[in-house]
Chain A
Amino acid sequence: MLGKIQKDLIKLLAFFGGLFLFFYLGFFLLFRSSSVTWLTSEYNEHLFSYEKEIQLGEIIDRYAIKEEEIDILKNRPIDSALWVISSRLKKQIPISEYDYKIKIIESEMINAFTIPGGRIYISKELILFCESPEQLAAVLAHEIAHVEKRHTVSRILKEFTISLLFSIISGTDTVLLSELWKTTISSSFNRKQEQESDEYAMDLLEKSNISPRAIAAFFRKLNRENLDYDEKVEFLMSHPHNNSRIKRSLEYKISNGFKPIPFDLDWKSIKEDL
């Protein structure tokens, strides 16, 4: 009888194993022709067009200024400095679907974040913290990487699929927007996305003739000033540990012909003007 039981077990395993294999092969053949892979960032891209993303960015931005009352800083010297820095970076992005809009906000935090549609916000405190325009460029390059890799979109999609599942969203527009806003500024990217962005940023910096070591310099200063995760540095919360980022930035192989071109900006006076 034990022999029968064993045979039964084999039958069961063969049935379910075969079923699994059957569906795997079925899906494999079914999706082989389509270039998008489900659930991955390419799939998000497929699901959420660039136009929609840019529209959403506009809506969130309008909401943030009106309802959350974030103060956008208007200051000629820093605006033009930002334009100089960002346009040098932007020139090196191969093909971009985004028209970047970078804004400076009044905030006590050292903070930088992106919302969908290529909108980047940098806090005044972060600019004051940067020792050189190159360091600001490093932060910007990192944020640009989040935009180009569409991390914001995948984050929103992920958060909101879950929210919808648990019916958190009650349906009214303001509630939805407030949730969207909170998601974009508070919830963080995962470690993999951060590393991906760091690598992209270093590559972009190198192409733009800015030393990728600026990232290391920025984080060294953070360490020097002993800013803990929970103190002032909100945007670094989920980011890989500062030391490992310094290490990676220092280990990044810069090509032989690389020549850094410094920015022609009077950084000190720009900061004083803020």
Chain B
Amino acid sequence: MPVIKVDGLSKVFGKNTKEALKLLDQGKSKEEILKETGCTVGVNRASFEVEAGEVFVIMGLSGSGKSTLVRLLNRLIEPTEGSVIVDKEDLATVDKETLRRVRREKMSMVFQKFALFPHRTILENTEFGLEIQGVDKETRSKKSKESLELVGLGNYIHQYPEQLSGGMQQRVGLARALANDPDVLLMDEAFSALDPLIRKDMQDELLDLQESMQKTIIFITHDLDEALRIGDRIALMKDGSIVQIGSPEEILVNPANDYVEKFVEDVDRSKVLTAENIMKRPETINIEKHGPRVALERMKDEGLSSIYVTDRKRNLKGYVLADDVSEARKNNISDLSEILKTDVPTVTKDTPMHDIFEIIHDSHVPIAVVEDGKLLGILVRGAVIGALAGEGEVNLENA
């Protein structure tokens, strides 16, 4: 069951919202609606579901409505239409009391510019959520300290925000959100204000934390690399509408339209694609069935200088080189195991392309992709470079 179910959620800024919604139904564009009604469409009929424990990234350029969308989820901005179902309650219509309870117990938010209270110490900042719930001082101090420990700031509790670096401030922001122990974390461009190195650290840390916490995270970003790095699924927004929702691979490999394609063009694919996406069906010979003659023939047919050897169950045994095989044939050796080489370069199907480079660079044979000892596919140097350049040849069927 999804933790959050968003259905037809829209926000129109301006006075004549009804008219604007009508025009939206007629399929008019954002500009046309602005011209005709003076209303700005912030979010246009967004629908998606987020599962428990999922990192759901909403990404888009500035002005695409992503920050508005996240604020519609906890109703910092009042939705014009649509529903946000959390725990069977539609947050778009619940009364203030219920909304407050949901904000206190189920959803916390992390802000782009940290939004720490400058007049409160780090500990007091972290305690804020618990404090307004009326939790007693001892409990909230204990929980907040745990939460600060979690983000590695246990020693800074009596400092003030301005005494901390940006990265540390955002850790406080994260600790403050976690102290409430919410089901859902809303992170609005949480790492965008940090410099690239710190940002990467924070992403790693978030992923580490997520591994143990298993929160449901809705993460807003304009940075595709970031989205691909941390997102289980990504929703791409343009002009207030969601244009595509999918896993990082799906978005990269099968962009839904030109816009998405343009977006993903610049991405460093090596960080996203894994061995699984670029491996090929291997030519193999069966060591239990075939001898040097078959091996040589098959290599000749395919123009290979080496071939992988498996048993009947496709368990990888090793490889043989063409030279060795023809030598063996001359000497009438019929058992391939005598010339079998076992120094096989292997990776798993989840190895990112980034790591494959180094291995493939040093290897004179294709890399084997193995799982539980079974040969799944091979990686040929040409295909790896091709995939990196963004030339088709990438398959998702194995995914």
Q: Do A and B come from one complex?
A: no
User: B residues bordering A, Cβ < 8 Å?
Assistant: none
